[in-house]
């Protein structure tokens, strides 16, 4: 089936069945968050990880990326390590592990104390099919912008001689952002639209990745799109999208969000949508 027929739609179904219908090398970028270790049942699903990963490899274009946002459950006192096992499987089938990034939550859910630190992050693995073809890096201000630092400020760790004095004067205004990205979860108006889903990721996270790894006009796939955060962000940024989810209910939320049907969204979650100030939770002992 031509990929054109799926463009800018939310498809209700098992992603394996749907992606099998896509042509080879038809997707520019994938951004998704799979179900984690059966932590949630959602609306009943089956998650055949390995065949899905292979289908992603077949359908992603050379130079395209898969951003896989994932975390591990703790079962019988040990983290499962599923995230790492999945990352190694992606590598085994031909992807490069391009970047292991961290999604840090500014307002992590308080947890029962069990002799370990409160979990406040998820992995965002960036797998690439060959050498990455698009990287539009996010920039942040340099702490010492404009200062004339002398050459000894930088240590030269490489074997080759570097002209450090030239690198340091003056310090640039901006530098490329690091790979730990921090977001408030579920507090912003645009994220509250997803209240009918138990585990949406923040719209800002989706926009940051889509901006980074694709260009306007590209096709972004979320094979487990839940409330449609990826699709909404892709549309906002002038990309095309395909969202897939096994739950008809989540697909409807995804369609309402992507199409910006505000009133129907409010009826769906039975709440007027409003901004909630971000807050930091602490564990009470
Ligand atoms: C972690 S949630 C994704 C949340 C999403 N990123 C958002 O912002 O709303 C995982 C989703 O995968 C869906 N799912 C599980 N197995 C699936 C499959 N085989 N095909 C398609 N969707 C599936 C679940 O219904 C659930 O909505």
pLDDT tens string 201-227: 999 999 999 999 999 999 999 999 999
Main-chain phi, psi angles of 152, to 5 degrees: -75, -5
Q: pTM (2 decimals)? A: 0.88
In the chain, the percentage of residues whose pLDDT exceeds 70 is 82
b/e sequence 212-240, b meaning 16+ C-beta within 10 Å: bbbeeebbbbbbbbbbbbbbbbbbebebb
Q: Which residue has the higher pLDDT, 268 or 10?
A: 10
Residue 268's pLDDT band, with cuts at 50, 70 and 90, is low
**Nearest CA, atom 13, ligand 1:** 224
Give the pLDDT of residue 285: 25
Cα 168 to ligand 1 centre (Å) = 47
Give the pLDDT of residue 44: 57
pLDDT digits (tens, 9 = 90+) for 79-108: 999 999 999 999 999 999 999 999 999 999
Q: Which of 128, 149, 176 is the last residue of a domain?
A: 176
Q: How far apart are CA 98 and CA 67, in angstroms?
A: 10
92 with 60, same domain: the answer is: yes
Q: Beta strands 121-128 and 96-105: pairing type?
A: antiparallel
Give the pLDDT of residue 168: 56
41 with 78, same domain: the answer is: yes
Strand partners, 60: 27
CB 93 within 8 A of CB 58: no
- Residue 170 domain-assigned (yes or no): yes
Range of the domain at 164: 141-176
In this predicted structure, the answer to whether residue 160 has a pLDDT above a threshold of 70 is no
Cα 197 to ligand 1 centre (Å) = 10
CB 234 within 8 A of CB 241: yes
97 with 145, same domain: the answer is: no
**Nearest CA, atom 18, ligand 1:** 14
Q: Ligand 1: which atom is nearest the Cα of residue 32?
A: 6
In the chain, the percentage of residues whose pLDDT exceeds 90 is 69
Task: Using CB atoms within 10 Å of the CB of residue 280, give its burial: 0 to 12 exposed, 13 to 18 middle, 19+ buried.
Answer: exposed
């Amino acid at each position: 089936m031509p990929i054109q027929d799926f463009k800018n739609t939310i498809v209700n179904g098992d992603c394996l069945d749907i992606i099998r219908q896509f042509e080879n090398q038809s997707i520019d970028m994938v951004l998704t968050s799979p179900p984690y270790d059966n932590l949630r049942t959602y609306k009943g699903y089956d998650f055949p990880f390995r065949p899905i990963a292979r289908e992603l490899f077949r359908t992603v274009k050379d130079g395209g990326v898969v951003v896989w946002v994932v975390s591990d459950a703790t079962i019988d006192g040990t983290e499962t390590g599923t995230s790492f096992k999945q990352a190694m499987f992606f590598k085994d089938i031909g992807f490069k592990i391009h970047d292991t990034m961290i999604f840090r939550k500014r307002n992590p859910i308080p947890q029962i104390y069990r002799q370990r630190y409160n979990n406040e992050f998820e992995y965002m693995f960036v797998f690439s099919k060959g050498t990455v073809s698009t990287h539009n890096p996010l920039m942040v201000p340099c702490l010492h912008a404009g200062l004339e630092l002398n050459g000894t400020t930088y240590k030269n760790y490489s074997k080759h001689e570097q002209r450090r004095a030239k690198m340091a004067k003056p310090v640039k205004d901006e530098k490329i952002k690091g790979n730990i990205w921090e977001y408030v979860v579920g507090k912003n108006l645009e994220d509250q639209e997803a209240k009918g889903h138990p585990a949406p990721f923040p719209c800002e996270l989706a926009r940051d990745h889509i901006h980074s790894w694709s260009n306007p006009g590209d096709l972004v796939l979320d094979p487990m799109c839940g409330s449609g955060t990826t699709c909404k962000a892709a549309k906002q940024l002038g990309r095309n999208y395909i969202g897939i989810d096994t739950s008809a209910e989540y697909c409807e939320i995804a369609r309402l969000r992507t199409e910006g049907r505000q009133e129907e969204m409010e009826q769906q979650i039975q709440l007027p949508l409003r901004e909630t100030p971000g807050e930091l939770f602490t564990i009470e002992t």
